[in-house]
Structure 1
Amino acid sequence: MTDRFSNVHPSLSGPASTGFAILPDDDVDLVETTRGLYLGSGGDIAVVMASGASIVLTSVPGGSILPLRVSRVLDTGTTANGIVGLV
């Protein structure tokens, strides 16, 4: 398979090249800081940003891709499901 962009250095404005399932946890950081989140089903999502700030986004529709640099997705305050970290 040809990948014309294999020699291009990834940037935060470019598309994600991998992802991982996220199980919200109040105490454990993600394995990698994200460059975005995908929400399979909507709801609220409570996160700790890469900066250390904690925020809650409410009523986010399912199927949303959020361009957030997140180090943790909190269980408390998160009602969304099917969360995928995009890197």
Structure 2
Amino acid sequence: MADRFANTQPSLSGPASSGFSITPNDATDLAETVRALYVGGGGNLSVTMLSGEVVTLANVFAGSILPLRAVRVRATGTTATDIVGLV
């Protein structure tokens, strides 16, 4: 399949080119730092940011795409479901 953007430098403001399913875990970092998180089932989302800070986002709506540079989605404090890391 042709990709007319194959020679374009990717940027954080551009669209994601890959993604992976995330199971929240308090002890294990993600396979790679994400540029955004998709939340399929609404709820609270607790993440460790690239800076190391732990942030809990309350009442995230289902279908949200959050532009976060996160390294971990924590089980403690996360009630959101169907989370996908976008890179």
| TM bracket (short chain) | over 0.9
| Superposition deviation, residue 56 in structure 1 | 0.2
| Superposition deviation, residue 23 in structure 1 | 0.2
Q: Which amino acid aligns with 2:20?
A: F
Give the TM-score of the pair, scaled to structure 2. Answer: 0.98
1:12 equivalent in structure 2? 12
**In percent, how many aligned pairs have the same letter?**
61
Moved over 6 A (4+): none
2:47 equivalent in structure 1? 47
Structure 1: stretches of 5+ with no match in the other structure? none
1:74 equivalent in structure 2? 74
1:64 equivalent in structure 2? 64
In the alignment, the residues of structure 2 paired with residue 62 and residue 8 of structure 1 have an alpha-carbon distance, to the nearest angstrom, of 32
Superimposed CA distance per residue, residues 20-65 of structure 1 (whole angstroms, 9 cap, x where no aligned partner): 0000000000000000000011000000000101100000000000
Structure 2: stretches of 5+ with no match in the other structure? none
In the alignment, the residues of structure 2 paired with residue 82 and residue 3 of structure 1 have an alpha-carbon distance, to the nearest angstrom, of 29
Q: Which amino acid aligns with 2:37?
A: L
1:22 equivalent in structure 2? 22
| Superposition deviation, residue 2 in structure 1 | 1.6
Q: Which amino acid aligns with 1:50?
A: L
Q: How many residues are aligned here?
A: 87
Tell me the C-alpha RMSD between the 2 structures. Answer: 0.4
Give the TM-score of the pair, scaled to structure 1. Answer: 0.98
